[in-house]
Amino acid sequence: MTQREDLIQYLLRLGDSALIQGQRLCQWCGKAPALEEELALMNVGLDLVGQARNWLDYAAELLADGHDADHLAFRRDERAYRNLLLVEQPNGDYAVTIVKQFLYDAWHFQVLSALSASSDERIAGIAAKALKEVTYHLRRSGEWVERLGDGTEESHQRMLAAIDQVWRFSGELVDGDEVEQRLAEAGIAAQPEAIASAWRAKVEKVFTRATLPVPAAPNHFYLSGRRGVHSEHLGILLAEMQFLPRAYPDATW
């Protein structure tokens, strides 16, 4: 792969993960356990969709095939998405949503912190802006992990069940690949090993405070969001997400 091709793939990974996580959070609209939480979830979701737009705008410019960020978001097939497996998993109960969000936030914060110093000025600018939002996201989800993990017996058991359900998808957060390694060596992307170490340290710190066990590193998973090999849940989510743009491709506001 050329560096341009590597960069396009990396931008799609960042943009698609933010987009799909934002879409999942928006599914809580009208269903959250409390009004304050519904507002908070929608704000986080909108932050992520805005960040996805910035990454996908850049990817579309590099692709230079006449398509824009909207096309990348709403007109690609499932196998063309490069999002993390974690974010496409269903919301489940609120414990599952919180564990998913925290694991993603802990990774996202470290990635954006590193990308703020990227040699690519466009990436550095997007990351620095997004980092301000994700700093809040991480603080909020971390506090919820502690509150539920060290709360009642029921909330503690629900958190244990949630971790057991989604932990196996966390491997992608700490396993870099050749694309990321090459871009990191060029000073463009985050260093995978450094991100993995910082992510583990943050998870261990918060889980310990929440009186929750830290599971062992997950085994190698046969699926890979980076390669477009997704779980069955992404296709269902995209069918909902993409209905209007595909049904009315020429519609404009």
Burial label for 25, CB within 10 Å (0-12, 13-18, 19+), is buried
- Per-residue model confidence (pLDDT) at position 251: 77
- pLDDT of 218: 81
pLDDT digits (tens, 9 = 90+) for 69-111: 999 999 999 999 999 999 999 999 999 999 999 999 999 999 9
CA distances from 23 to 18, 62, 167, 232 (A): 9, 25, 20, 16
Q: Does domain 3-213+223-247 have CATH number 1.20.1260.10?
A: yes
The domain ranges of the chain are 3-213+223-247
Model confidence pLDDT, tens digit, residues 209-225 = 999 999 988 876 778 99
